[in-house]
Amino acid sequence: MKHIIRSAARDDILRQFRYYLVDQDKPEVANRWLEAVEKTIHKILRTPSAGAPKQLSNESLAGLRSWPVEEFEDIRIYYLSEESALRVIRVLHGKRDIRRILEREEE
């Protein structure tokens, strides 16, 4: 199964990378972050149904699941598992208003 990272999720990943690199001045953590995201996506690909289901009124995200990023457990990958691909919708920190963000997402 292949994976597709939507542009909003890619922005989320890069925003967190920049936070560690620039705001925190921790390039080693920034690089570890990128590796952890990639490693977590590959773990999800092996068992996509293992992620926690997220119930939303946004019908375009029916079946949405989440899984914590390895070593960065406060941040979760929100994804849809389809027959042909795993679609990474967003990558969000738990302190954000997750429900509000996801309810506004469009597929």
Structure-token match 């996506």, residue found: 41
pLDDT for the residue numbered 107: 63
pLDDT tens digits along 15-73: 999 999 999 999 999 999 999 999 999 999 999 999 999 999 999 999 999 999 999 99
Name the pLDDT band for 105 (thresholds 50, 70, 90): confident
Within a 10 A sphere around the Cβ of 86, how many other Cβ atoms? 20
Name the pLDDT band for 83 (thresholds 50, 70, 90): confident
Q: What are 70's two structure tokens?
A: 């390895």
Domains of the chain: 2-103 (3.30.2310.20)
